[in-house]
Amino acid sequence: MEQNSSSAGTHFSALPGVLRGERVDLYTLRSRAVFREASRHVLLFHLLLADTLQMILMQTLFLLSSVRLLLVIPLCALLVVMTATAHDFSPLMLVLMSLERLVAVRMPLRHAAIATPRNSVWACFAAWAFTVSTVLVRLGLMLPPSNMPALSAQMSQTCNSLVLYPTSQSRLFDEALVYTLFVLAFLSIAGSYAAVMSAARSLSTDQSSMCALFQASVRRARATLLLHLFQLSLMVASTFHNVLQAALYYALPRVVFIRVQITIYIFLIILPKCLSVLVYGLRDPAIRTALILNLRCRRKRVT
C-alpha cells in the first residue's frame, strides 16, 4: 500500500504543472478576439480541451487503481468511454490542423475564405460527433444486452479498458477500430506534408521577395507537420500503455514495476500532452506573448 501511495504521489506531482499549462493556454486562446477569430487557434483550443479532459480522467482511473477501489461495471464503463472519447478526438484534431496548414500553403488566396472560425467550429463539432459515435460502438461491445443482468455487480478487478470487454473478439474489434483511426490520421498528415514539400520544391528556384516570404511560410508549415507526425506517433504509443503495463506487471518484481510504470506514464501519457503547448504556445509569437503575460499575472496573484 505504501508503494502504491508513493507511485500515486509521483504521478500526481507531475499533474498540476501539466494541467496549469493547459489551463493557461485554454484561457489565453479564449481571452482575445484575435485568437477566437483565427482558424488554427480555434482548432488548437479544442485539441487542448481534449488533452486536458483526458489527463483528468486518466489520473482519476489511476487513483482508483492505486487505492484498489472496485467500481460497478456501468460507472467503470462510463469513465473508460469518456477517456476514449478524448483520446480518439486528438488525432482527428491533428488531421484538421494539418489540413488547415495545407490550405494555407497550397491555396493562400482562398485560405481566409475556407479556414473561417465558423467552418473551424463546425469541423470540430463534426470531429466530436464522429468520435462519440465510434465510442458508442465500443460501449456496446463493453455492455452487450446479454450482460445486462450482471451490470449492477461490482467488478472483481480495478477499472481499466482491458477487463471490460466480455470476449476477446470484442477487444480485437475495439483495437482494430482504434488502429484504423490512427492509420487514417497518419496518411492524412503524411499526405499534407508531401503536398507542402511539393510546393516547397516548386518555389526553390524563385528568388523574388514575395516568394521568399512564401517560402518562410512553407518552412514553418513543414516543421509544424513534422511535429504533428511526431505527436501522433506518441499518441499511438500511448494506446499500448495498458497492454504494456499488464505485461510488465507479471514479468517484473513489484518495486521495479512501480518505477518502470512511472517512467512509462511520463513518456507515453504526459509528454504527448505537453507537446501541444510547446508546438503552438511557444512557436506562435502571438500566443507566446499572451501566454507569458498571463503566466506573469497569475504568478503575481499567487504571491
pLDDT in tens, 196-246: 888 777 766 555 555 656 677 778 788 888 888 888 887 887 777 766 776
User: Which one of 86-90, 149-153, 185-189, 266-270 scores highest in mean pLDDT?
Assistant: 185-189
pLDDT in tens, 46-85: 888 888 888 888 888 878 877 777 788 778 888 888 888 8
Asked if residue 139 has pLDDT above 70, the reply is: yes
Asked if residue 192 has pLDDT above 80, the reply is: yes
Query: Which residues neighbour 215 within 8 Å (Cβ) at sequence distance 6 or greater?
Result: 200, 203, 204
Check residue 152 and give its pLDDT.
64
Higher-scoring residue by pLDDT: 86, 142 = 86
pTM as predicted:
0.81
Check residue 61 and give its pLDDT.
80
DSSP states of 121-170: HHHHHHHHHHHHHHHHHHHHHHS-GGGGGGTTSBPSS---GGGT-SSHHH
Lowest mean pLDDT among 19-28, 43-52, 173-182, 187-196: 19-28
**Rounded Cα gap, residues 144 and 82, in angstroms:** 18
**Rounded Cα gap, residues 297 and 221, in angstroms:** 31
Residue 85 has a CB neighbour count (10 Å cut-off) of: 21
